[in-house]
Amino acid sequence: MSKIFTLDVREDIQQKKEPFQRIMKTVEQVEDGGQLILHTPFVPEPLYNIMKGKGFRYEVEQIDNEHFVTVFHK
């Protein structure tokens, strides 16, 4: 069974902390068939090309005004 990783970076961003390294460390752990569920306060468009290059596809859902959930599938 493939592992699912969940990462919520909304608080990091609210505190002006750059979450990119934290996201990439988690991405390294996702194996084929696995998922990363990412919670952000905005659509994380800059990540899309990076993640595509690493073999991921994605879908995004808006939960409320400042809560988006993007599921990256490897």
- Residue 42, domain extent: 4-73
In the block, residue with structure tokens 């468009």: 45
Query: Given this model, what pLDDT does residue 60 score?
Result: 97
- Whichever domain contains 35, its CATH number is 3.30.110
Cβ(32)–Cβ(74) below 8 Å: yes
Q: How many domains does the chain have?
A: 1
Q: What is the pLDDT of residue 2?
A: 81
5: alpha, beta or left? (left if phi > 0; alpha if psi -120 to 50): beta
Task: Say what the pLDDT of residue 50 is.
Answer: 96
* Residue-wise pLDDT tens digits, 18-67: 999 999 999 999 999 999 999 999 999 999 999 999 999 999 999 999 99
pLDDT at 18: 95
What is the model's pLDDT at position 36? 98
